[in-house]
Amino acid sequence: MSTPNSNFYKKDIVPVSIFALIFLTMPLWFSWIGGYGGLDTKIVIWVIFAVGFDLLLGYMGYLSFGHAAFFGTSAYVTGLMLLHYSDNIIPAFFMGVLAAVIMALIIGQLTLKRSGIYFSILTLAFGEMLHSLVLSTLQDWTGGDNGLTGLPTPMLFDLKMQGHNVYYLAVFIAIIMYYLARRIVRSPFGLMLSAIKTNPTRLEYTGVNVARYKLAGFVISAAYAGVAGALMIIYEPYVASEFMGWHLSGQVVIMSVIGGIGTLFGPMIGAAFMLYFENVASVALGGAWLLVLGLIFMFIVIFLPGGFVEAGRKVRARFFGGAS
Amino acid sequence: MVNSIFLQILTGLQLGAIYVLISLGLSLIFGTLGVVNFAHGAMYMLAAYLGVVISAAWGWEIAIVLVPAILFCLGLIMERGLIRHFYTRPHTDQILVTFGLAIVVQEALKWYFGANNLPYPTPDWGSGIARLHEVLPFLDGFVAYPKWRLIVTGVSLVTVAALFALLQFTTFGLVVRAGMRDAEMLRFLGINISKRFAIVFAVGVMIAGIAGVFGGPVTQVDPGVGMVFLVPSFLVVVIGGMGSLPGAVLASFLIGLAISFSADIPALANIIIYLIAIVILLFRPRGLMGQKGVME
Residues 41 through 80 of chain A touching chain B, CB cutoff 8 Å: 57, 61, 63, 65
- Strand, helix or coil at B129? strand
CB spacing of B234 vs A118 below 8 angstroms: no
Number of A–B residue contacts, CB under 8 Å: 100
Q: Domain count for chain A, please give it.
A: 1
Reported confidence tier of residue B51, pLDDT bands at 50, 70, 90: very high
The three-class DSSP label of residue B121 is coil
Residue A179 inside a domain? The answer is yes
pLDDT in tens, B263-293: 888 878 888 889 898 888 888 888 888 776 5
CA atoms within 13 A on the CB side of A4: 6
Residue B293 lies inside a defined structural domain of this protein:
no
- Rounded to whole angstroms, how far apart are CA atoms A185 and A267? 15
Please report the pLDDT score of residue A1 as a whole number: 44
Write out chain A's pLDDT in tens, 324 residues.
Answer: 445 555 666 778 888 888 888 888 888 888 777 777 788 899 999 999 999 999 999 999 999 999 999 999 999 999 999 999 888 999 999 999 999 999 999 999 988 877 778 899 899 999 999 999 998 888 888 888 888 888 888 888 888 888 788 999 999 999 999 999 999 999 999 999 999 988 888 888 988 889 999 999 999 999 999 999 999 999 988 999 899 999 999 999 999 999 999 999 899 999 999 998 888 888 888 778 889 999 999 999 999 988 999 999 989 888 887 544
The CATH number covering residue A176 comes to: 1.10.3470
Q: Residue B296: its pLDDT value, please?
A: 45
Q: Is residue A1 part of a domain?
A: no
In one-letter notation, the amino acid at residue A64 is S
Give the chain A residue nearest B92 (alpha carbons): A63
Provide, as residue numbers in chain B, all residues whose Cβ is less than 8 Å from the Cβ of A130.
none
Task: Kindly state whether B108 is in contact with chain A, defined as any CB-CB distance less than 8 angstroms.
Answer: yes
Q: How many domains does chain B contain in total?
A: 1
Q: How many CB atoms lie within 10 A of CB A92?
A: 25
Domain limits at B113? 2-227
Between the CA of residue B100 and those of A288, A318, A324, B25, B227, what are the distances in Å?
Answer: 15, 29, 30, 19, 13
CB contact under 8 A, A61 and B92: yes
Q: Do B95 and A305 touch (CB under 8 A)?
A: no
pLDDT > 60? residue B234: yes
**Residue A298 in contact with partner chain B when CB distance is under 8 A:** yes
Domain that holds residue A34: 6-320
Asked if B103 is an interface residue toward chain A (Cβ–Cβ < 8 A), one would say: yes
**Please, which contacts does A77-80 make with residues 24 or more away whose CB atoms are closer than 8 Å?**
A77/A230, A78/A229, A78/A230, A78/A233, A78/A234, A78/A239, A79/A148, A79/A151, A79/A233, A79/A237, A79/A238, A79/A239, A80/A141, A80/A148
A314 within a domain of the structure (yes/no):
yes
Q: What residue of B is the nearest CA neighbor of A256? A: B96
Q: Which residues pair with B145 in a beta bridge?
A: B130
Q: Which has more confidence, B182 or A311?
A: A311
For B29-53, what is the mean pLDDT? 91
Which residue in A60, A62, A110, A118 has the most chain B C-beta atoms within 10 A of its own C-beta, making it the best mutation to test that interface? Answer: A118
What part of B 145-204 touches A (C-beta under 8 Å)? Answer: none
- Looking at every residue in chain B, the average pLDDT score rounds to 88
Closest Cβ opposite residue B96 in set A110, A114, A257: A257
Residue A109 belongs to some domain of the structure:
yes
Per-residue pLDDT at A2: 47
**B106: in domain:** yes
What is the model's pLDDT at position B33?
84
- Interface test mutation site (partner A, options B107, B228, B237, B294, max chain A beta carbons within 10 A): B107
The ipTM value here is 0.89
Residue of B95, B236, B283 to mutate for A, most A C-beta atoms under 10 A: B95
Rounded to an integer, the average pLDDT of B111-120 is 88
Please tell me the predicted confidence (pLDDT) of residue B2. Answer: 78
